[in-house]
Structures are given as structure tokens and as C-alpha cells.
Structure 1
Amino acid sequence: MVLWSYRTTPRTSTKETPFSLKYGTKVMLPMEVAVSTLRVTNKDVEINAQDLRINLDVLEEKREKSGMRQAAYKHATKRYYNQRVKEKAFRVGEYVLRKNEASRAQPQGKLGPTWEGPYRVAEANRNGAYVLETMEGNQIPRMWNARNLKKYFF
């Protein structure tokens, strides 16, 4: 029943149900067949077959429209996200703290430290990847993403 519900619920991105995109027609719920509804009692077999053929003819156009709607929805979602994201950028020589959750250098727990450091940015690569070094000048083994770092002020 859960799968049926999923396939018969219109998606936000396409404004169509997966069932209608596959078969070109609205789904008839099992409850409509068990309990006589107007849709079941007033059906004419010939008209129904003719309507199904028409729906199949229009199916490709319906899929193209839903594909365009989905692309527009993805574009709007991307634009919404990019307006609100804050880019972090550090320069070589700046001091940063590293998230303990990412490095797991110290034991974690409810009362464990959230940040560790300070570290100095030794090398700044593109896409927010940084090479860090300790205050003594020893390089940390791997690169760190900007989302796991925050600026440290003395």
C-alpha cells in the first residue's frame, strides 16, 4: 500500500504522478473498484478504450513537459540554496580551528571539545581545500575542507 501511495502522489518537481508518467492516465484506486463510484458505474468500454489511446498519444508530450518543469524546479532550488550559502575562504598564514568531529583527534562525547587547534593555513587550494600546519610548523597529514574550519582570533 505504501508503494501504491508513492506512485499515485504528484511530485512537487514534475506536478505529475509517477503512474501517470508511465501509463499516461490517472490511476484508479482499489477502493473505487470495491465501492461503486460514479467513475466506475458511468464508464463506457469503447469510450474508455478510445480515451486510453488518446492518452498514450499525448504521453510523450506530457513527459517532456514534466521534464521541463523538473529542470525549472531544480534551477529554482539551486538558486535558492546559492543565495543563502556563505562561502568561507582562508588565506595562507591565517589561523583556524578544526572541527573535532571531522578529525576525531580527541575523544568525542557530550561534553567533549567541539573545536581543536589553532592551526595555521599552510596552503590554500581551490574548491575550499586547505593544508594545515601546527603552531610548531609540522604539517597535518591530509587536506581539510573549509566547512570543517573556522577562523581563529588571538
Structure 2
Amino acid sequence: MLLIEHRYTGTDESTKTLTLNFDLRTKSRLRTTLDSGEDAGLFLPRGTILRGGDRLLASDGDIVEVYSSPESLIEVRCENLLDLARAAYHLGNRHVPVQVGGDMRGGWLRLADDHVLADMLRGLGCMLSHLEAPFEPEAGAYGGGHSHAGDDSSAERRGPRIHEYRSPA
């Protein structure tokens, strides 16, 4: 079995690929199969979340590129930004992983297909569509450990940084 313990940040080309859904990309310990059929074991730092396009260094020196597999998702759109913000608030209040995006038609939220949440969103006046697409939700509070200022624990025990901020322009 191929052992994978590190991210790769170099410039060499990827030689292998690994396609996983979002749930599996949040596991730091995982027995899996590369797209080639080769068995592999992920032993990454706790709290690691893999994103489509991330690259990993295998024990044999190969570079493994991660792909996000398509999943059954709900895309949420609203008539105005206030309603979209309200929908995002209610999903966040339930700690639901949500991908935030937009296109020429406006902003949208995407979440894993769930009939209970779909009913709630329709009740809020949202327009829903179902699609199969890679899922890349915001890192949010489920990105590893929840902590507050003044916690009596070291940064190492608190887990990774849970928010992804844009770099200053």
C-alpha cells in the first residue's frame, strides 16, 4: 500500500490522481484507492481538509493530485441578497457545510442534497435546483476544532486555522 503523509508544494508534475468526495477529503486517516486502482493510506496532520487541486507527496516519491468528485447537491438562489443572506444564516446556524459562489445570474449557495433542509429553504422563499458537481464548501467551523479567545489550550491543540481569508490587495 502506498503511504501518503505530506502535502506537496513543489513545481513537479503530478504522476497519480485521487478522486474523493468532500466527506472523505476531511479525513486525516483514510485507507483509499487511487484512480489507477492502487491502494493508498492517507496519514495527514489532524484537521487537514483536502481541496480539489491539492497535491500530496507519496512515500515512493510520486506526486498525487486530489480531485473533488461530483456529489448530489442543492443549489440555492434567492430573489435578493437579503434572502440569500437569511438562507446562509439558517444553514450556518445548523452547522451545514455550504459552498458560496455566483455567476452572471447572481449569488448561490450549494449544500449536500437533504430533503429536510430543502423544505426549510423553500419555506424561506428560496429557489432550489438539484445538480451533480464537485463540492468545495467554505472551511468554516467544521474545518477543525472550535475554539474561543482565552481557551486554556495551546495553538497546536486547538487545530488548524478554521477560516480562509483573502490576502490584502
TM-score, normalisation: structure 1:
0.19
TM-score, normalisation: structure 2:
0.18
Normalized per residue, the structure richer in helix is: 1
Q: Give the structure, 1 or 2, with the largest relative contact order (CA under 8 Å, sep 6 or more).
A: 2
Normalized per residue, the structure richer in strand is: 2
